[in-house]
Amino acid sequence: MQTRSSPFRPRGGRPAARPRTTARLTAAALMTAALLVSACSPGSSSIRPSSAASTRPDAAAAPVLAPLPRAIPAALTPYYTQRLQWRDCGAPGFQCATMKAPLDYARPGAGDVRLAVTRKAATGSARPLGSLLVNPGGPGGSAVDYLQQYAGLGYPAEVRARYDMVAMDPRGVARSEPVECLGDRQMDTYTQTDVTPDDRAEEDAAVAADEKFARACGAHSARLLRHVSTVEVARDMDVLRAALGDAKLNYVGASYGTFLGATYAGLFPSRVGRVVLDGALDPSLDSRTVNLEQARGFETAFQAFTEDCVRRADCPLGGSGTTPRQAADHLRSFFRKLDGHPVPAGDRDGRKLGEALATTGVIAAMYDEGAWSRLRAALTSATKGDGAALLALSDSYYERDADGHYSNLMMANNAVNCLDLPPAFTGPRQVEQARTAFEKASPVFGEGLAWSSLNCAYWPVRATGEPHRITARGAAPIVVVGTVRDPATPYRWAQSLAHQLTSGHLLTYDGDGHTAFLRGSNCVDSAIGTYLLHGTPPPPGKRCS
């Protein structure tokens, strides 16, 4: 299996079928929920008490993220009082500006980063509610693109009427001094690396691919790599809040964006306004646990897909009477065939559909049940020797355009995840030891997710974060949204985060796909809309379908 990424990309991850919020999660298919930078991170807040162990799944044992002092340090005053120079940009009604933030919050005079910001003014005449910052996830997803291409028009009209819609590309992402690593052709090679190795030579090749990626990032982005942590981005968000003239931060974050929002709440609880965390990550988990639980999440999503698929005449994994296990066996057999004999995909750069890209294509469709029909058609074509449709799904996951150019999504994803948490594994022998557990969690995707979790082992910068809890004591009510069969951010994570937050309110969506807001549930959309407009969180135990 393959998805060359760190454990995060619940891609944040846009759905294959329509623009959506994303996050890139665990190793392999989705980047790992990069969880926080600890006290040893320059300029970060402290995490108390300190913890020697970085691998404990017991949330109660994890240290607590401590808030920063309310008073703004004098050295940061120029950043907090800066005036943004807005100009028209993008689609009609949007403006853009560049905000400065210190590269290193511990040394504000040592250089700045320039961050891209966009906004769309409130459309109504009623009393405005301030700014609403949005983030679609990743880490590595462009919030500026998300707002200009989707949220700026796709959010409920009542919300857009009362709020200035705002987005900022996090440091290292897209327009905000992007992390740079491999070139486009090198990325093509990297995304096709076999992460279900059959022998020692293929194991060595998988390791070499991760080592090459890490070296390239170190060579091309040395200045940034130590300063793209989630804590630093959360601090940038507070600078933006002040520059916008808001006393409190109103925020909607999806997938990895929930980790950003929760971190902000932990650091600045008194400045929390109305905050929605959709498709939540659990910051108390270590990287290996995140990856393992995400493997279970994708297996759950795949079982839901197969149960739907075998009831349909066009299902390529078996017809009526086929069990989900048999359907999974069909898919694994297809992957094994592609491992030795890739099929043509009509790609002008000569790429064929092999096991790695095919697996990524299937995973991409798991983010949104609206993509299931597209996946059935793509698998049908691929089994007949035409891999173009499944390759297109994979390219959408990696943000590779028709000209063969990659966004910096994967580069930023690794940079953030590998800084926020110690690596899941430090070498291939640890992967081998953990393979059985991963394959038990997901017979279809487990092995590939285990090997993809090795990506941070060779990173040129040591991780500064550790697993921790976020309580945000004193914050206003925070709404945490969890989807029962979410593949990238398992429902249990939303339950855990809502429990950790002293003002957390859990909203449950009994459905499929990644995240819940604006994905077809009137119940979810109404509950969140009421909260954003009136400040009233969902009642305890609120459940939607």
Catalytic residue set: 255, 486, 514
- The alpha-helical segments, DSSP class H, found in 388-456 are 388-398, 409-420, 428-441, 446-452
Distance, in Å, from the CA atom of 77 to the CA atom of 172, rounded to the nearest integer, reads 23
Q: Are 452 and 28 in contact (CB under 8 A)?
A: yes
94-102 sheet: strands from edge to edge: 87-88, 94-102, 112-120, 163-168, 130-135, 249-254, 272-278, 478-485, 504-512, 543-544
Distance, in Å, from the CA atom of 492 to the CA atom of 219, rounded to the nearest integer, reads 39
> Nearest Cα to 2, choosing from 255, 202, 216, 290?
202
Residue 299, both tokens: 């297996």
Q: Return the ∠ at Cα 484 (arms to 481 and 489), rounded to 5°.
A: 65
Distance, in Å, from the CA atom of 264 to the CA atom of 249, rounded to the nearest integer, reads 9
Q: Helix 372-383 to helix 355-366 angle, to the nearest 10 degrees? A: 160
Query: Amino acid letter at 316?
Result: P
- Sign (positive/negative) of CA torsion 225, 361, 27, 467? positive
Distance, in Å, from the CA atom of 171 to the CA atom of 167, rounded to the nearest integer, reads 13
Q: 12: Cβ–Cβ under 8 A, 6 or more apart, which residues?
A: 21, 22, 23, 24, 136, 137, 138, 139, 141, 254, 255, 256, 257, 279
> Nearest Cα to 416, choosing from 132, 4, 8, 3?
8
Distance, in Å, from the CA atom of 123 to the CA atom of 158, rounded to the nearest integer, reads 9
Neighbouring C-beta atoms of residue 235, cutoff 10 Å: 24
- The alpha-helical segments, DSSP class H, found in 221-255 are 222-225, 230-243
Q: Are 72 and 213 in contact (CB under 8 A)?
A: no
Tokens 């808030």 locate to 67
Residue 375, both tokens: 């996946």
The three-state secondary structure class of 249 is strand
Q: Phi first, then psi: what are they for 544, rounded to 5°?
A: -120, 160
The three-state secondary structure class of 272 is strand
Read out DSSP for 160-185?
HHHEEEEEEPPTTBTTBS----S-HH
Q: 540: Cβ–Cβ under 8 A, 6 or more apart, which residues?
A: 505
Q: 290: Cβ–Cβ under 8 A, 6 or more apart, which residues?
A: 7, 8, 25, 26, 32, 33, 35, 281, 282, 421, 424
Quick one: DSSP state of residue 32? Answer: -
